[in-house]
Amino acid sequence: MTQNTPRPRRTRQLPTTEQLRIWRDFIETADALRAELTARLQSESSLSSGDYAVLLALSEAEGQRMRSSELAAHIDWERSRLSHHLGRMERRELIRREECAADNRGAEIVLTPTGLQAFRASTVPHLRAIRELFVDPLTEQELIAAGDLATTLRAQLGTVGRRRSPTTRPTTIRT
């Protein structure tokens, strides 16, 4: 390019009206679905979605315990948010904090019998709500497409490694 030749102008392509409509439908539907699942979980089990995420992670962890930092990474929360939430869960005796035997600098979060009982009692109603609100309205092809969509978007966001990938074995719920 010579000094007198103008640089090609870069134009940023904006979404079309139809693409924006689809985006809004997607976001609003996801928000409504999450809100309904959260409301049902709370009313049926007195657990918040945050409580459920923590209890699920601990129920699947070896010895039903995890380092605080590992738990924060596993559920993709900031450590300060998790710390405050764990305090509330600890007061309700769903979890307890113990000094880490291998490392004095950190704490392990341990699932209590009360927490395990609360998690188990909430699991079946929560899974039924997921089935009713998300699985049943979709065809098998739509479910596959939803999974592909989630995988593609997660890869674009660079978070594939933080959550279970579609090639790993589905999570089993211990009862």
pLDDT category at 158 given cuts 50, 70, 90 is: confident
CA distance 109 to 78: 16
pLDDT category at 3 given cuts 50, 70, 90 is: low
Mean pLDDT of the chain: 87
pLDDT digits 0-9 by tens, 6-58: 666 666 799 999 999 999 999 999 999 999 999 999 999 999 999 999 999 99
pTM of the model: 0.77
CA distance 130 to 34: 10
CA distance 39 to 157: 28
